[in-house]
Amino acid sequence: MNKKSLMIIVIQSFVIILLIWVVILMGSDEFVDDDLFDEEETLSFIEVNDEGLNQIRLTETIVKNSGIQTSAIISSNKQSSFSNYGIVQATDTLIDLKNIYDQLMQEINTLQNQINTEEKKYLAFIDLNADEKNISDQVLLDQQTIVNNLKVSIEKKLALKKNLQQKVLSQWGNKFYMAITGKAKDKQLNPLLNGEARLVKITLPSSDSDNSVPEKIIFTPINGNSETEGVFLDKAPTIEPSILGQTFYYLISSPDIRIGSKLIGFYKENQNNNKQQNRYEVQSSSIVWSNGLPWVYIEEEPFLFVKKPVSLENEIKDGWLVTSDALSTNDIIVSKGAQLLLSEEYKYQIKNENED
């Protein structure tokens, strides 16, 4: 065997040994990673409680390092309007209708007075015509024509009056109809018609509007902290097609609020209402979504978290007003880190599916 062949054999042997060493080294790294993963998994446990809900038990280390924060849940005596906000209504058309109606009534009164006068003249002409033709037949006929023309004119005005009344009733409701037509005086409407107040239309859920309508509602601007009290005025004749419920008018003494502004409406729940629900104010960071539904995490004991369902009613400052029979006033809610807990729960579910 020459030196060249020997050198080739030595090189091949070295390469084989090197490959074997690399394979062993990579295999040991995988074992180390698996050990670390197993060790990491033991930092959290997913359990099922007596109610069939998943509960997450974390170590104190994970809770501290992950930044999970909790706070006492805040109960609320507010009830949302379920209305996608109340809308400040423009009343210029209402004022125009009132002015048109007042002008029309003046014209009707003027025509009625003219008819009364001309009818008296016509009756007098009849007597004169019958008394040896002191008034000619043509003059009598002309006077009759004048009376008939006035009656036609007033019938047209009365028809316009009826149409205008129906327009006010169908667009603005009975209270405005009574006030504009003069059938009833309402001092409550004076500030509105004088521009010293604003009219808000809001939809209340059917479950509540079927009972008693709240006399007062608290309105808050979307991008503000000020609260304005609204006083019930009347049931609105028109509804919002996209919202279930009944629509009502409320009067607010805030002329500075711009027409078309959206306001969030709340009212204090009737303490005698047997249907009173458990309502709470929660931060937006406390809400997580799973399977298309909103949930919150409650710390039932130190480092043990349970996901519970809630129903969102309406937005409030920095959060939501929610209802849930699964919560209580003594609960501790996760205010920061709820999404992390949900991810931990999903990771557990994915692991189980892979094992199956």
Model confidence at 122: pLDDT above 70:
yes
Model confidence at 81: pLDDT above 50:
no
- All residues at 6 or more sequence positions from 80 whose CB lies less than 8 Å from its CB, including other chains: 265, 266, 313, 314, 321
pTM comes to 0.53
What tens digit of pLDDT does each residue of 33-58 get? 444 334 444 456 777 777 777 788 88
Mean pLDDT of 106-125: 93
Residue 10 lies in a domain: no
> By residue range, what is the domain housing residue 263?
86-90+185-268
Q: pLDDT averaged over the chain? A: 81
Q: Which of 49, 44, 69, 47 lies closest to 326 in space, CA to CA?
A: 49
- CATH number of the CATH domain containing 50: 2.40.420.20
Decide: helix, strand or coil at residue 163.
helix
- How many whole angstroms separate alpha carbon 304 and alpha carbon 26? 39
Between 39 and 194, whose confidence is greater?
A: 194
What tens digit of pLDDT does each residue of 2-27 get? 666 777 777 777 778 888 877 777 66
**Lowest mean per-residue pLDDT among 40-54, 101-115, 123-137, 221-235:** 40-54
Q: Are 272 and 103 in contact (CB under 8 A)?
A: no
Q: Are 86 and 219 in contact (CB under 8 A)?
A: yes
Q: Cα-flanking dihedrals φ and ψ of residue 103, to 5°?
A: -65, -40
The band of 159, judged by pLDDT with boundaries at 50, 70 and 90, is: very high
Q: Which of 268, 290, 310 is the last residue of a domain?
A: 268
Model confidence at 328: pLDDT above 80:
yes
- How many whole angstroms separate alpha carbon 193 and alpha carbon 175? 13
Q: Are 202 and 210 in contact (CB under 8 A)?
A: no
**Lowest mean per-residue pLDDT among 49-58, 167-176, 308-317:** 49-58
CB burial of residue 44 (10 Å; 0-12, 13-18, 19+): middle
Query: Which pLDDT belongs to residue 68?
Result: 92
Shared-domain flag, residues 137 and 195: no
| Encoded amino acid at 106, one letter | Q
The domain total for the chain is 3
Mean pLDDT of 156-167: 93
Residue whose pair of structure tokens reads 């909103």 in the numeric block: 294
Shared-domain flag, residues 139 and 201: no
Model confidence at 295: pLDDT above 70:
yes
Query: Which pLDDT belongs to residue 327?
Result: 92
Mean pLDDT of 188-194: 83
Residue 33 lies in a domain: no
The band of 31, judged by pLDDT with boundaries at 50, 70 and 90, is: very low
pLDDT-above-90 percentage for the chain: 31
Query: Which pLDDT belongs to residue 20?
Result: 81
Residue 22 lies in a domain: no
